[in-house]
Amino acid sequence: MHTSGLDIFLLFILPLAGGIATYFYYQKKKFNLKNILAFSGAFLLAICLLHLLPEIFKAEGSYTGYFVLLGFIIQLVLEYFSRGIEHGHIHTHGDHHHVETSIFLSLFIHSLIEGAALITHHHEGEAHSNSLLLGIIIHKIPIAVVLAMLLSSIKSKLYNAVLVLVLFSLASPLGYYLSVWFDMDSVVSPTQLLAIVVGIFLHVSTTILFESEENHKINVQKAISILVGLALGILAS
């Protein structure tokens, strides 16, 4: 199954819409993102454990775990530069009115790699394709929201904010098209690339879910968000 133009459009427009809507809303009213992040983290964890991990180990064999670990390490490095924006951390410094280049580039590379993994659409069935695509979209929307919150909090001009959000939203579609246009098999197989993304997903999802709450307690709303995310992940798998 090939990724359709509609798939790529949704991969672009949904994070962009979420980010732009948040940019305007956040200026008027602050809101808590923890429940949305908990939902996305639970969904990612479910599709990784129930679908993507069994699929890649079945297809690739004994070396797959190394690529999962590589993805985990890549995300660890990227988060050093992004300062944890992938799981809801917003850091502003003084009177800066722009998003630091390191933060944007780390998010861009993160999304580029995830989009490139959609090349597996050429090799796997519809259920595999849908769960992976849905996982990336559900993962990217909260990141776009947090990025927009950061842009709003530093009072970035509308033009600059929209430009940053558009470029971020384009990263995953660009990653997909680059993996289609170039012979990726000469560097890494589609399954190995997917294993790297699974490692990234596992790092992000576990960080979101297991970061400590106050007094090490989980509130009811977050618990419900996690259960809904897990349930949807089960259905998608």
What span, in angstroms and rounded, lies between the C-alpha atoms of 172 and 151?
Answer: 20
pTM: 0.88
When pLDDT is cut at 50, 70 and 90, the band that residue 181 belongs to is: confident
The pLDDT of residue 62 is above 90? no
Contact 1, 129 (CB under 8 A): yes
What span, in angstroms and rounded, lies between the C-alpha atoms of 169 and 154?
Answer: 20
Listed residue (133, 145, 135) closest to 107, CA to CA: 145
Domain ranges of the chain: 5-236
Listed residue (145, 77, 141) closest to 110, CA to CA: 77
Per residue in 25-44, pLDDT tens?
866 566 668 888 899 999 99
